[in-house]
Amino acid sequence: MAYLFTSESVSEGHPDKVADQISDALIDNFLAFDPESKVACETLVTTGQVILAGEVKSNTYLDVQQIAREVIRKIGYTKSEYMFEADSCGVLSAIHEQSADINQGVDRASKEEQGAGDQGMMFGYATNETENYMPLALDLSHAILIELANLRRENNEIKYLRPDAKSQVTLEYSDDNKPVRIDAIVISTQHDDFAAEAEMLAKIKSDLISILIPRIKAKYPQYAHLFNDDITYHINPTGKFVIGGPHGDTGLTGRKIIVDTYGGKGAHGGGAFSGKDPSKVDRSAAYATRHIAKNLVAAGLCDEVLVQVSYAIGVAKPTSINVVTYGTSKVNMTDGEISKVIENVFDMRPYFIEQRLKLRNPIYSETAAYGHMGRKSETVTKTFQLPNGAPKTVEVELFTWEKLDYVDKVKAAFGL
């Protein structure tokens, strides 16, 4: 029997995402000047206020206030009527030194024996229902908000948009688990105040359906066939949405972990990513399991896969690695047997994950909005500035866990 599945996304101006982006900007700046930095930074944003807290072990000093303001400005909170503005908001830092008790479990005389920064389990997922091996409902939800942000910055066809927004896409799947059409789309976008509320809501709905949706279809032609005249649209369903961002809701780092990963498909171990350096396996091992999952599907081993890894704090070797192919495996092996082979192909000790995926580089700001997975791996040049110091320019490779660089090794290991 056909069924429905839904995923959501939130924009870069959503208060939780503002917090994530500030936390990851701090990570990038610490790593740019001291790649061995150990950082766990949390951010809270509310009306006119940013509060930074966390633990750091680093040989560099940052102007954390300036970094936070730059992030807020880039997102688009640049007007006083938003009640949260880059130049006027207060920024309080309560960042202190990392606990020596935690650090002793990570650092080792031999780097190869670096222990996991925490206990826990992490999951990676991939499916062949999209070109980037991501769940389709989440991919479309992200795409809607990325294009909405483009429209806001262009300030051309639609001039009233503000930074905060959410989207949601419901797909209908066939009996054989293939997406066949979009059933519903929900978009809530913050906007400037209007004199007449009824006319405002009608205009926003008309603009998003007639301007935004065609741009999505043009930009993602592979999904155009899923759009139809029977889609149910809920555009700002509660009414006007003038008060938003950190003034409308308090934002915290790490509260959008399903948006950050697979939109409810697969599984999640519960650990957030933003604000954590790669010694924290919540982050690095989640990237590594995505890397495994994507390469397994791309190699043709299966159509869909979930990879789990788990750790004990301070211990290098994982306590378990598990692979679930949902009955889509193309080899005559059980999932348990596949798991044993994977252990020999991918070294999941924290140090080797960091080296394989180049995680001790300032690559995290780009992950903090519109998902950590399914993004384009590319090399970019970034510039960082210390207080009263010369700028530092570095070339880094983003989203290394999205590379299909292990496809040949997987094929060889499984005789594909």
Sorted by where each begins, the domain ranges of the chain are 3-9+136-243, 15-104, 120-128+258-414
**Residue 166 annotated as binding site:** yes
Q: Is the pLDDT of residue 113 over 80?
A: no
**Residue 255 annotated as binding site:** yes
Q: To 5 degrees, how large is the angle CA 68–CA 71–CA 76?
A: 130
Taking a C-beta distance cutoff of 8 angstroms, is the pair 402, 366 a contact? no
Fold (CATH) for 15-104? GMP Synthetase; Chain A, domain 3 (3.30.300)
**Residue 176 annotated as binding site:** no
3-9+136-243 against 120-128+258-414: fold identical:
yes
Tokens of 379: 């090399």
pLDDT tens profile 20-30 = 999 999 999 99
Task: Report the C-alpha gap between 165 and 188 in whole angstroms.
Answer: 5
**Residue 241 annotated as binding site:** yes
Task: Report the C-alpha gap between 197 and 204 in whole angstroms.
Answer: 11
Fold (CATH) for 3-9+136-243? GMP Synthetase; Chain A, domain 3 (3.30.300)
Q: What is the mean pLDDT of the chain?
A: 94
- State residue 387's pLDDT score: 86
**Residue 55 annotated as binding site:** yes
* DSSP-assigned beta bridge partners for residue 310: 121, 320
- State residue 102's pLDDT score: 55
Question: What is the CB-side half-sphere exposure of residue 406 using CA atoms within 13 A?
Answer: 24
**Residue 280 annotated as binding site:** yes
- State residue 104's pLDDT score: 55
**Residue 119 annotated as binding site:** no
Helices (H), 279-324: 281-298
**Residue 68 annotated as binding site:** no
Strand-strand pairing, 304-311 and 320-324: antiparallel
Fold (CATH) for 120-128+258-414? GMP Synthetase; Chain A, domain 3 (3.30.300)
**Residue 273 annotated as binding site:** no
**Residue 164 annotated as binding site:** yes
Mean pLDDT value across residues 350-366: 97
Mean pLDDT value across residues 149-156: 97
The reply to whether the predicted model has a pTM over 0.85 is yes
**Residue 372 annotated as binding site:** no
- State residue 106's pLDDT score: 63
